[in-house]
Chain A
Amino acid sequence: MRTLIQVLAITAMNLRNLPQRVGTSLVVVVGIAGVVGVLVSVLAMSEGFRHTLASTGRADRVILLRAGSDAELSSGVDRNQATLLAALPGVARDAAGRPEASAEMVAMVDLPRKGESNPNNVPFRGVQRAAFTIRDEARLLEGRRFEPGVREVMVGRKAAGQFAGLTVGSRIAFRDSDWTVVGIFASGGDVHESEIWADAEVAMSAFRRSGYQSVTARLADGSAAGLAAFRDAVARDPRFSINVLREPEYYAKQAGVLSTLINVLGYTVASFMAVGATFGALNCMYSAIASRQVEIATLRAIGFGGTPVVVSVVIEALLLALLGGAVGGTLAYLYCDGASLSTLNFSTFSQVGFDFRVTPGLLLRGLVWALVIGAAGGLPPAVRAARIPVTEALRTL
């Protein structure tokens, strides 16, 4: 109890004379704010990317690809197979008895980013009518859906935001054909918002394709048993060489390489900065106790113990660190959160748009880093403070 009171007394005294040491204390705050700011904003990028892919697809939907292909672009499903797959009994039916399956063609089109001129691989998806029933999360923000049989496209919200010339009413030229943008759609922040959608038949004739890339279907029974039964039906049928994947499984896998890369980058950079900031904090706390040498010795002389001195110095360092962490986290939040960007996903060779996501979890992680740096920078000076012989310290007066 007495120790606690002593700790409080010394800490209060330290904090009261903090304003006299603004310069050195600022070093701790700025150093740690830098670490936390960089850490949180880089991780927010990987978090946003991962989130976009993780929120794509539903568990009761499957994507069918050619066996051996891990991405739509390298897959191929011919017309007959697509029709046969849609007719399988495991596929859900709509009110009119039509299968809820959409055979889709995927191509890339070159579009420049806004204000730039070099081309980017923007995914172009030809979808069948059922696509809108299956993906009921897709809803129009502006304009209308494309008409079947006409060279019209609707554009995902992220694609429209990143790439030039994708506004309702504008015309875009790909592959000896002119297409009119007739609508902008959103689909819950998922990958499809980075795509351009058109009628599958029209797209296939324009891109001179004879087959589809994939079939997306809703299962009548979305449970594990239903999926197993459907997989089994596909595997048993000698006409198919098809891989059945739950949508979330398929899309989550695409996030792997890139989000790992961003995470490694973020943690590496932040670790280096953290080491630098720790040296800064050490410096600051050493000079803080050097300037208070006499004061500390006096306290010791009148009966304060060594532990309260140590604890109070560490507390001061931790408070400064916390302030730095809060500043860094706030800056990252203000500067990054919600900012949109688009990058080439190596797994699909196509552009994916996503938003930085500064989540509470990330902010918390930033604060933990701040506290660790604060403790590492505060402890050695604190121990030195408590160890200085009282007589020696007082003699410097």
Chain B
Amino acid sequence: MRYLPLLWAGLFRKKTRTILTLLSIVVAFTLFGLLQAVEVAFESGADAADAKRLLTTARYSIIEPLPMAYQRRIEQVPGVVGVAYADWFGAKYQNESNAFPVFAVDPTRYLDMYPEFTIAREQRDAFARTRTGAVAGKRLADRFGWRVGQKLPISSEIHPNTDGSLNWEFDLVGIIDADDPAVRGNTDMVLINVAYFDEARQSDRGKTGWYIVRIDDSTQARAISASIDTVFANSPDETKTQPEKEFAIGFAKQIGDIGALVTRVLLAVFFTILILTGNTMAQSIRERIPELAILKTLGFSDGKVTALVLAEAILLLVLGGAIGMGAAVAAMPALNGSTGGRFPPLFVGLETWLLAAAIAALVALIIGLPPALRANRLKIIDALSGH
């Protein structure tokens, strides 16, 4: 700590150069923070998954419906402690297809299945009571300015209503939210009461989209999945059951390898930073060879001089990295506000901070070691006379 002023003086010996280098590091880490947040958001489905939840879908494609009667039969499978289901409504709101997902659910069963969603007690009861009731995620409600108590006109692209039209209207009776930012993205939806929906729709009555199954022992997830699928094997509607996490990972993979894309971009970014800062460091040390020789003359050991040079590189990276990550964190609320539920919420988690620290340390070592070794091997006589 005592050497901090010395380090600082060395670093800012040429102000413009150091500030420009620092700014490029800041930009690199801001980009790192943002891209990591995007990647985490894509994978947050898997992080938010509950190990005690399974998902049962139609065996050959998740879009094929399953009979609602399966609920009872799944409940009887040993190890199963709760069953809920959901059906895809195919919403069109203000003429935008799939502006948000709408699921037809049994209110109590569904909300019991997801204890991580928060909803006021009376709103929850109102949803269970109201046949035309609907609840919406808070981010969605904020985006569209919905208020509890209002009518919610939503069209379906798939299901005609009793009057043959595709227009539906629900009563917004509640708002759901989540405390954990990784879960909050899962509340970007509207839930409607299946009792009304199934009675009023013209086709696929008595069918639903998929089942969510709660089990008592997460270590038995595979075994219970297999026994559920066995129940329906060789029936007209065979099933495929898997742990929620596996389903979420599989679904994210359908989009493609976002992780690989982000990694490649960041490799390009940090390779550039490596060249840039490496060059600056080398240049800066080259200019200060006589100064380093004087430090050694004053009694600084070889090791200490080496450490000083290395510490300078670390200080540069830590400073740039911290400011950059700070900027990324600061940008999150604005970004989340502007996407308003179109995209899962972005946030910078602990893992991203740790990864940033590791990258900063690695870059500091790579760019600091060559000049540090040079400083280490420096002979006082040569350095002072070489000038």
Q: Which residues of A contact B (CB under 8 A)?
A: 23-24, 26-27, 30-31, 34, 37-38, 42, 68-71, 73-76, 107-110, 113, 116, 118-121, 174-176, 207-208, 265, 268-269, 272-273, 275-277, 279-280, 282-284, 286-287, 341-344, 346-347, 349, 351
* Contact between chains at B255 and A273 (CB < 8 Å): no
* Contact between chains at B238 and A34 (CB < 8 Å): no
Measured in the bound complex, the distance between the Cα atoms of B255 and A351 in whole Å is: 8
| B222-243 near A? 1/0 per residue, CB < 8 Å | 0000000000000010100000
* A346 contact set on B, CB distance < 8 A: 98
Measured in the bound complex, the distance between the Cα atoms of B92 and A280 in whole Å is: 48
* A276 contact set on B, CB distance < 8 A: 23-24, 27-28, 31, 269, 272-273, 276
* Contact between chains at A121 and B272 (CB < 8 Å): no
- Contact flag A283-B254 (CB < 8 Å), given A24-B283, A27-B275, A272-B27: no
Find residues 228-271 in chain B having any chain A CB closer than 8 Å to their own CB: 236, 238, 246, 249-250, 253-256, 265, 268-269, 271
* A109 contact set on B, CB distance < 8 A: 60-61
- B157 interfacial contact with A, CB 8 Å: yes
One of B13-21, B76-84, B190-198 contacting the partner = B13-21
* Contact between chains at A279 and B21 (CB < 8 Å): yes
Closest chain B CB from A274 CB (angstroms)? 9
Closest chain B CB from A112 CB (angstroms)? 9
Contacting residue for A347 out of B31, B34, B97, B166, CB 8 A: B97
Measured in the bound complex, the distance between the Cα atoms of B62 and A118 in whole Å is: 12
* Contact between chains at B166 and A30 (CB < 8 Å): no
6 tightest CB-CB pairs across the interface, nearest first? Answer: A118-B250, A74-B157, A276-B27, A108-B61, A34-B272, A279-B24
* B283 contact set on A, CB distance < 8 A: 23-24, 287
Find residues 56-84 in chain B having any chain A CB closer than 8 Å to their own CB: 59-64
* Contact between chains at A283 and B20 (CB < 8 Å): yes
Closest chain B CB from A232 CB (angstroms)? 22
Measured in the bound complex, the distance between the Cα atoms of B129 and A293 in whole Å is: 82
- Contact flag A174-B253 (CB < 8 Å), given A30-B275, A31-B275: no
Contacting residue for A70 out of B61, B92, B272, CB 8 A: B92
What is the count of residue pairs linking A and B with beta-carbon distances less than 8 angstroms? 143
Closest chain A CB from B189 CB (angstroms)? 15
Given contacts A27-B275, A34-B269, A276-B31, could you give 17 more A-B pairs where the C-beta distance is less than 8 Å?
A: A68-B157, A68-B166, A76-B203, A116-B253, A121-B61, A175-B64, A207-B64, A269-B31, A269-B35, A272-B30, A272-B34, A273-B31, A276-B28, A276-B269, A280-B272, A283-B17, A351-B254
* A286 contact set on B, CB distance < 8 A: 16-17, 20
Chain B facing A: main interface SS: helix
Measured in the bound complex, the distance between the Cα atoms of B97 and A38 in whole Å is: 32
* A287 contact set on B, CB distance < 8 A: 17, 283
Interface size bracket, B side: 35 or more
* Contact between chains at B254 and A121 (CB < 8 Å): yes
Between-chain CB contacts (< 8 Å), 10 pairs: A23-B282, A38-B269, A108-B62, A118-B249, A118-B250, A121-B63, A272-B27, A283-B24, A342-B256, A346-B98
* B272 contact set on A, CB distance < 8 A: 30-31, 34, 273, 276-277, 280
* Contact between chains at B61 and A110 (CB < 8 Å): yes
* Contact between chains at B250 and A349 (CB < 8 Å): no
- Contact flag A283-B276 (CB < 8 Å), given A74-B157, A110-B60, A343-B256: yes
* Contact between chains at A282 and B20 (CB < 8 Å): yes
Measured in the bound complex, the distance between the Cα atoms of B203 and A199 in whole Å is: 25
* A116 contact set on B, CB distance < 8 A: 253
* Contact between chains at A70 and B97 (CB < 8 Å): yes
* Contact between chains at B255 and A344 (CB < 8 Å): yes
Closest chain A CB from B167 CB (angstroms)? 9
- B155 interfacial contact with A, CB 8 Å: yes
- B301 interfacial contact with A, CB 8 Å: no
Complex: chain B residue closest to A272, CB-CB: B31
Contacting residue for A68 out of B27, B155, B265, CB 8 A: B155
Closest chain B CB from A356 CB (angstroms)? 12
* B157 contact set on A, CB distance < 8 A: 68-71, 74-75
Measured in the bound complex, the distance between the Cα atoms of B269 and A277 in whole Å is: 10
* Contact between chains at B17 and A280 (CB < 8 Å): no
- B158 interfacial contact with A, CB 8 Å: yes
- Contact flag A68-B275 (CB < 8 Å), given A176-B238, A341-B256, A342-B256: no
* A349 contact set on B, CB distance < 8 A: 63
- B220 interfacial contact with A, CB 8 Å: no
Find residues 323-361 in chain B having any chain A CB closer than 8 Å to their own CB: none
* A282 contact set on B, CB distance < 8 A: 20
- B162 interfacial contact with A, CB 8 Å: no
Measured in the bound complex, the distance between the Cα atoms of B158 and A73 in whole Å is: 9
Closest chain B CB from A215 CB (angstroms)? 17
- B370 interfacial contact with A, CB 8 Å: no
Q: Which of A42, A113, A265, A283 has the most CB of B within 10 A?
A: A283
Complex: chain B residue closest to A31, CB-CB: B272
* B59 contact set on A, CB distance < 8 A: 175
Measured in the bound complex, the distance between the Cα atoms of B16 and A380 in whole Å is: 12
Closest chain B CB from A57 CB (angstroms)? 19
* A69 contact set on B, CB distance < 8 A: 157-158
Closest chain B CB from A311 CB (angstroms)? 22
Closest chain A CB from B87 CB (angstroms)? 13
* A76 contact set on B, CB distance < 8 A: 158, 203
Closest chain B CB from A343 CB (angstroms)? 5
* Contact between chains at B27 and A275 (CB < 8 Å): yes
* Contact between chains at B276 and A27 (CB < 8 Å): yes
- B90 interfacial contact with A, CB 8 Å: yes
* Contact between chains at B63 and A119 (CB < 8 Å): no
- B280 interfacial contact with A, CB 8 Å: yes
Measured in the bound complex, the distance between the Cα atoms of B27 and A272 in whole Å is: 6
* Contact between chains at A269 and B282 (CB < 8 Å): no
* B21 contact set on A, CB distance < 8 A: 279, 283
* A280 contact set on B, CB distance < 8 A: 20, 24, 272, 276
Measured in the bound complex, the distance between the Cα atoms of B273 and A286 in whole Å is: 18
Complex: chain A residue closest to B247, CB-CB: A118
Measured in the bound complex, the distance between the Cα atoms of B157 and A152 in whole Å is: 31
- B279 interfacial contact with A, CB 8 Å: yes
* Contact between chains at A38 and B236 (CB < 8 Å): no
Contacting residue for B20 out of A174, A265, A268, A279, CB 8 A: A279
Complex: chain B residue closest to A351, CB-CB: B254
* Contact between chains at B98 and A107 (CB < 8 Å): no
* Contact between chains at A38 and B276 (CB < 8 Å): no
Measured in the bound complex, the distance between the Cα atoms of B24 and A341 in whole Å is: 32
Measured in the bound complex, the distance between the Cα atoms of B98 and A349 in whole Å is: 10
Closest chain A CB from B134 CB (angstroms)? 20
* A113 contact set on B, CB distance < 8 A: 253
* A34 contact set on B, CB distance < 8 A: 268-269, 271-272
| B162-192 near A? 1/0 per residue, CB < 8 Å | 0000100000000000000000000000000
Measured in the bound complex, the distance between the Cα atoms of B56 and A323 in whole Å is: 56
